[in-house]
Structure 1
């Protein structure tokens, strides 16, 4: 894992800690990588205290991105700015390599008030001028249309009506779309209605998929939880499921979860091929977040403050601030994978070795990971499918 992937993983768990506090029993789904890469665009224009908060206070962990393009340690602040940008470009290029099986699109854009003069820098590649001052509603529709096109119409109305005002000067938008097929698909004939337990006393019927197959698996006896990896076709990407043994055991698992623990738990030393009896509900989760308060809680405060924001690397003046950071994401898990359209039956021979049960019939966590870079693309909590 390079230092950027490590920094993004730390940001992932900082973000999750905020979400699990504010959304105690709710579904959670987001793409920390998409958020971080979009904020990296703002970081390029940040100066002084604003840059310090983004890199050093801990919000984005960019101070952990140590190596430069030649592999030596980066010390100079200006060099670090360019290095973070370069490392993101390198990572996103790797992630977006086309495959026959999966489609992954990560798109970020900054929309700036047209009366602001942006410097002749790489920001011209990202910033699109809009007329927030005189036409905020038209600007909103333009942004939503772009997001819709980038996500194959899965994410609509990212910005709700009247969410932009004539005082808006900068809106940061990130969109991510993933469509993948399982390496071994679930047989639809095995999908049955079963109860999903929201807690010890309450359940709801769900369509439960079933598959008996060989998966990377481990059992964490000390915290009473299990981990399973389901590869997508081509095995460049995987879904990692974290399931507590007890119906009400998710909070204990979440309290134990850190970037370091996940790395340890899912390492090749701990995850081994086992026959597993897997039950996984079909589920669809769509979530929208205004991340301003979340990022403030992580220490990124000044960039939102009109008196203290310093994004002079973008405009040459200190009168620019970030007005909103909106993130919306969508995931659908079916027998074929994520949004796929065909199915293939998997036959398991009679007389297979003993299997480990992995029944996701109560709240669980999941991550979608790019295996080569060890980058977490998505994190989610399924409390109610």
Structure 2
């Protein structure tokens, strides 16, 4: 997944959050700066990263978009904030009259800005007549290794799997000897190796964390931002003979549950306060969707990701009717009031 893509999409929603909703989002997303400094900081960060990528012949595209219901009142200061700090492309659409067409339009936008790597970010049914706003981010990255792998050295070799026994699968394993970033050590008694492969220009790199197989799950569970920072700080340049698999995969996430567990359930509830978006408290986030793709081969890496936050009008909780005891029924013509059939059910099993 792409932490940066998720942060950008939710930062745009956070810009309109107020009160306890904003406080929960800030804590869950580790937004430590006040609103008036956070959004310019995201802008400066993206400008810096994009400039560094361009200077090193790395393809890096970051795009943000805003789709709002035609006729719905959005605060001018909110729209200007997204435009100024996120370069958000502003689109007015008819969610009420053509929700599926709007969903297709947003998905096409994401696909175009990720070079076709992210398709159908918003699944069927995610956009409805109650949708009033969709905020989306898309990121595309393509970089060539500083030292590329020779395809003639790539061969089928076993890759050991998690689980009991010595389960393996055959994969195409690349091999090279080069000066790479390297570190090793132990995390809570689990030995690990770290290797970093630089891309052309040396400003961007892919880091591989390789804990001992039997301790992988414990190592992964114990990894957090502070520990990752310590692991990365220990990297130094060494001569490394590296074997690593070619791989390519994509992943899809619905973020509502994870974000609620992280401490921001209010944003997804009828108690949400996004009055900074339209001056009312009528909006809540219905769901946040995320998709990511990566391909790694002898030449380098291609990666893409997108995040979409769908905001809808609040609706009252549904009325629950459970017909689990005797009842009376009738069939009627609603216009004339004529009752065509009338009866009762005392035991549906008879």
Fold agreement, TM-score > 0.5:
yes
Does the 8 Å contact 1:174/1:326 carry over to 2?
no
Higher share of residues assigned strand:
2
> 2:254·2:287 contact (CA, 8 Å) conserved in 1?
yes
Q: Deviations over 1:212-235 (max 9, x none)?
A: 111121111442111111111111
Aligned match for 1:48, one of 14, 19, 26: 19
Q: Say yes or no: does 1:161 pair with 2:124.
A: yes
1:230 counterpart (170, 174, 197): 197
Q: Which residue of structure 2 lines up, in the alignment, with residue 92 of structure 1? A: 46
Matched, 1:187 2:150: yes
**3-state SS of 1:275 partner:** strand
CA distance in 2, matches of 1:176, 1:59: 22
Corresponding position: 1:251 with 2:209: no
Match of 2:167 among 181, 187, 202: 202
Shift of 1:122: 4.4
Q: Which runs of 4+ in 1 moved over 4 A?
A: none
Q: C-alpha root-mean-square deviation of aligned residues, in Å? A: 2.0
Provide the C-alpha distance between the structure 2 equivalents of 1:101 and 1:148, rounded to a whole number of angstroms.
Answer: 22
Q: Distance in 2 between matches of 1:136 and 1:48?
A: 30
Question: Of residues 55, 58, 65 in structure 2, which corresponds to 1:109?
Answer: 65
1:211 counterpart SS class: strand
Q: Is the 8 A contact 2:12 2:135 kept in 1?
A: no
Question: In the alignment, is residue 214 of structure 1 matched against residue 155 of structure 2?
Answer: no
Give 3-state SS (helix, strand or coil) of 1:148's partner.
helix
Supply the distance in 2 between the matched residues of 1:243 and 1:311 (Cα, whole angstroms).
42
The 8 Å contact of residues 74 and 278 in structure 2, kept in 1 or not, is answered as yes
- 1:279 matched to 2:243? The reply is yes
What residue number does 1:240 align with?
A: 207
Contact residue 170 and residue 321 of structure 1 kept, 8 A? no
Structure 2: unaligned runs, 5 residues or longer? 307-350
- Provide structure 1 residue ranges, at least 5 long, that are not aligned to the other structure: 1-29, 66-79, 341-367, 369-376, 379-385
Residues 333-378 of structure 1 deviation map (CA, whole Å, 9 limit, x = unaligned): 01000149xxxxxxxxxxxxxxxxxxxxxxxxxxx9xxxxxxxx99
Q: Which has the higher contact order (CA 8 A, sep 6+)?
A: 1
Are the counterparts in 1 of residues 155 and 172 from structure 2 also a CA contact under 8 Å?
yes
The answer to whether 1:61 aligns with 2:30 is yes
* 1:337 and 2:291 aligned: no
Q: 1:323 aligns with which of 260, 277, 286?
A: 286
Partner SS state of residue 111, structure 2: helix
The answer as to whether partners of 1:170 and 1:322 remain within 8 angstroms in 2 is: no
Larger-gyration structure (1/2): 2
Q: If the length of structure 1 is used for normalisation, what is the TM-score?
A: 0.72
Q: Is the 8 A contact 1:171 1:322 kept in 2?
A: no
- Taking the aligned partners of 2:221 and 2:272, their CA distance within structure 1 comes to 34
Structure-2 separation of matches of 1:100 and 1:234: 5
1:43 deviates by 1.2
State the partner residue of 1:310: 273
Aligned equivalents of 1:336, 1:313: Cα separation in 2: 46
The DSSP-based 3-state class of the residue aligned with 1:101 is coil
Structure 2-normalised TM-score? 0.79
Cα distance between partner residues in 1 of 2:121 and 2:92 = 18
Counterpart-to-counterpart distance in 2, 1:177 and 1:258: 25
Q: 1:216–1:229: 8 Å Cα contact kept in structure 2?
A: yes
